[in-house]
Amino acid sequence: MLDRRKLLKAVAATGAAGAGLLPVGRSAFAALSDASAVAPPRLVVVFMRGAVDGLSVVVPYAEDEYYRARSTIALGRPGQAGGVLDLDGHFGLHPALAPLVPLWQTGRLGFVHASGSPDTTRSHFDAQDYMESGTPGVKTTADGWLNRLLGALPAAGVAAAPTRAVSIGAVLPRIFAGHNAVANIASGAAAVKPTVLDRPRVGEAFARLYDGDDKLSRAYRESQLARREVMGALAGDDLEREMQAANNGAPLPGGFPADAARLARLMRRDARVQFAFMAVGGWDTHAAQGSAAGQLANRLAPLGQGLAQLASQLGPVLDDTAVVVMSEFGRTVRQNGNGGTDHGHGNVMWLLGGAIAGAKVHGRWPSLADSALYEGRDLAVTTDFRQVLAQLCERHLALPDARLDEVFPRWPGFGDGGLDLVRSRA
């Protein structure tokens, strides 16, 4: 529940509102450390670039067609060595994603299978572009849907912080392109390392140079404000070291788990971080993708660990969070000549968080029967990805119906599509 009085009191307590200053850094953190009481709804989008093989993520192990199509890369049935982790008697989860099972069991992890874009391109780059612009088939859309959502969803109270929307990584993704400000935070420990600009003399000199109204000046100022926020919330954390210690000193599996944990802490400590985006690459398994072990498993394992980290580090904030994990398209149902899979169509979207109606594989499953395949080779799409995102916007983020059209223009947006993805908020 969003308690507006408490929120306003928190603003007043900083004494900054009257001075026309945004509370930044530690003062903001202190003012809002009671984050769970404020509880604005949050949204995290994780994009798997390269088209993950969704049929190896949420596996239709009950269908013989699956095993016929994948003679060497199919995952075993539940209970077999290296078999899937049963979800509902029909689908099973890739064993490398075992860290996510507790979330499924507590109803905070669900999936929408056979989902994807109505556009049938098999180009990674066009397909990603469409999913990020939110306008499949239309190349002229300049901005991303997540940026438009920032504009369509009024910032509650002090939520208009420089870190209201954050992206992890050195470049801003297409999904955040647009005129609303978005902070990007470096991947890895660099996110919280002081820079030369933190020295007042240097910082002031550059601030004078970047005081115009041009794009570069705005970006510079946004960067400085966001950095102060992030440094304020995360100063003193050494996540890499902590996690390595928790791992008995074993090296970390890539950067994703630490980045996810860092993001979660930031969100937990600063209630004004409402939207976040992360991307993970390396899913384009045209050759030797493996099954329970192998290249795909090696990529899924850190993703699963990272999402589990994200959930646990969010703590109580997880209750007000929806995490959506998506990829541009799925891969061919039949394996190719090289123990891999080629570009396909339908895929699975993952939903995670307390806001999610979990423990369920949502969507209409078209089956893998030959007659049901798209162009005789791919999983069909029965749920438009926008249907899923729109429902999160409306039911979870409380985006007014009338403004949905701004986020997903040119989309009829018919009803709920038979989906019920969001738990009703108490």
Binding site for other proteins (CB under 8 A): 49-50, 72, 121-126, 169-172, 177, 182-190, 193, 195-197, 201-202, 205-206, 208-210, 212, 214-217, 219-220, 222-224, 226-227, 240, 254-255, 281-289, 295-296, 298-299, 336-340, 342-343, 375
- Tell me how far, at minimum, the Cβ of 412 lies from other proteins, in Å: 26
Query: How far is Cα 366 from Cα 179, in angstroms, rounded to an integer?
Result: 39
- Tell me how far, at minimum, the Cβ of 292 lies from other proteins, in Å: 15
User: Where are any strands of DSSP class E within 6-117?
Assistant: 42-48, 58-59, 85-86, 92-93, 109-116
Q: Which is nearer to other proteins, 1 or 196 (CB)?
A: 196
CB proximity list for 197: less than 8 A, separation 6 or greater = 203, 206, 224
Which residues sit opposite 116 in a β-bridge? 384
- Tell me how far, at minimum, the Cβ of 335 lies from other proteins, in Å: 9
Q: Which is nearer to other proteins, 110 or 116 (CB)?
A: 116
Q: Which is nearer to other proteins, 258 or 421 (CB)?
A: 258
Q: Which is nearer to other proteins, 184 or 274 (CB)?
A: 184
The 3-state DSSP composition of the chain as helix, strand, coil percent (nearest 5) reads 40, 15, 45
- Tell me how far, at minimum, the Cβ of 141 lies from other proteins, in Å: 12
Structure tokens at 261: 């944990």
- Tell me how far, at minimum, the Cβ of 227 lies from other proteins, in Å: 7
Query: How far is Cα 310 from Cα 251, in angstroms, rounded to an integer?
Result: 19
Q: Which is nearer to other proteins, 86 or 222 (CB)?
A: 222
- Tell me how far, at minimum, the Cβ of 206 lies from other proteins, in Å: 6
- Tell me how far, at minimum, the Cβ of 198 lies from other proteins, in Å: 10
CB proximity list for 354: less than 8 A, separation 6 or greater = 108, 318, 319, 320, 321, 423
DSSP secondary structure string for all residues of 219-283 = HHHHHHHHHHHHHHHHTT--HHHHHHHHTTTPPPSSSHHHHHHHHHHHHHH-TT--EEEEEE---
Q: Which is nearer to other proteins, 49 or 364 (CB)?
A: 49
Q: Which is nearer to other proteins, 275 or 283 (CB)?
A: 283
